[in-house]
Amino acid sequence: LTAQAEKPPAHAPAPAPRRERLELPTVAHIVAVASGKGGVGKSTTAANLAVALARQGLKVAIFDADVYGPSIPRLFGLAGRKPESDGNTVTPLEAHGVKIISMGFFVPEETPVIWRGPMLHKAIEQFLGDVYWGELDFLLVDLPPGTGDVSISLASFLPGAQMLVVTTPQEAARKVAERAGKMAERTNLRPIGVIENMSWFTGDDGKRYEIFGSGGGQELADELGVPLLGQIPLVPQLREGGDDGQPITAVAPDSEPARAFRAIAERIAVDLKPKKVFSAQLTIK
Ligand code: ADP
Q: What is the per-residue pLDDT across 84-96, written as a single tens digit (0 to 9) for each? A: 988 888 999 999 9
235 lines ligand 1 (CB under 6 A): yes
- The pLDDT of residue 284 is 43
Return the pLDDT at 2. 36
Nearest atom in ligand 1 to 71's CA: 7
Report CA-CA distances (Å) from 81 to 59, 100, 103, 117.
22, 11, 12, 27
Q: Is the CB of 244 under 6 A from ligand 1?
A: no
Contacts of 223 (CB under 8 A, 6+ apart): 173, 174, 176, 177, 178, 181
The answer, yes or no, to whether any atom of ligand 1 lies below 6 A from the CB of 145, is yes
Nearest to 40 by CA among 249, 220, 251: 220
Which atom of ligand 1 is nearest the CA belonging to 243? Answer: 16
Mutate to test the pocket of ligand 1, among 166, 209, 239, 264 (most ligand atoms within 8 A of CB): 239
CA dist 133 and 77 (Å) reads 20
From residue 221, alpha-carbon distances to 172, 176, 192, 195, 217 in Å are: 12, 10, 9, 9, 6
Cα(145) to ligand 1 centroid in Å equals 12
Q: What is the pLDDT of residue 154?
A: 75
What is the pLDDT, as a whole number, of residue 11? 52
> Residue 39 CA: which ligand 1 atom is closest?
4
**What CA–CA distances, in Å, run from 108 to 53, 105, 181, 200, 242?**
28, 7, 32, 33, 17
Residues 169, 216: contact at Cβ < 8 Å?
Answer: yes
Please count the other Cβ atoms lying within 10 Å of the Cβ belonging to residue 243: 10
Q: Tell which one of 42, 44, 102 to mutate to probe ligand 1, the residue whose CB is within 8 A of the most ligand atoms.
A: 44
Name the maximum alpha-carbon separation found in the chain: 58
Distance CA(76)–CA(96), nearest Å, equals 8
199 lines ligand 1 (CB under 6 A): no
pTM metric for this prediction: 0.87
| Cα gap 285→79, rounded to integer Å | 32
Cβ of 35 less than 6 Å from ligand 1:
yes
Closest CA to 64 of 105, 26, 20: 105
Question: What is the whole-number distance in angstroms between the Cα of residue 40 and the centre of ligand 1?
Answer: 6
235-to-84, 211, 215, 216, 229 alpha-carbon distances in Å: 35, 12, 19, 19, 19
The set of residues, in sequence order, having a beta carbon less than 8 Å from that of 146 and lying 6+ positions away, is 6, 35, 36, 37, 38, 179
The answer to whether the CB of 29 is under 6 A from ligand 1 is no
Specify the DSSP class assigned to residue 9: P
Q: What is the per-residue pLDDT across 213-265, written as a single tens digit (0 to 9) for each?
A: 999 999 999 999 999 999 999 999 999 998 999 999 999 999 999 999 999 99
At residue 174, the pLDDT reads 86
Does residue 77 contact residue 244 with C-beta atoms inside 8 Å?
A: yes
Strand pairing partners for 95? 98
CB 61 within 8 A of CB 102: no
Q: Which residues of 213-284 form beta strands (DSSP E)?
A: 228-232, 283-284
What is the spatial distance between Cα 247 and Cα 265, in angstroms, rounded to a whole number? 15
The pLDDT score that the predictor gives to residue 147 is 83
pLDDT tens-place values along the chain, 285 residues long: 333 444 444 454 444 444 454 668 889 999 999 999 999 999 999 999 999 999 999 999 999 988 778 899 999 999 989 999 888 889 999 999 999 999 888 775 566 666 666 777 777 777 777 889 999 999 999 998 988 777 787 787 876 799 999 999 998 888 899 888 888 888 888 999 999 999 999 999 999 999 999 999 999 999 999 999 999 999 999 999 989 999 999 999 999 999 999 999 999 998 877 554 444 444 444
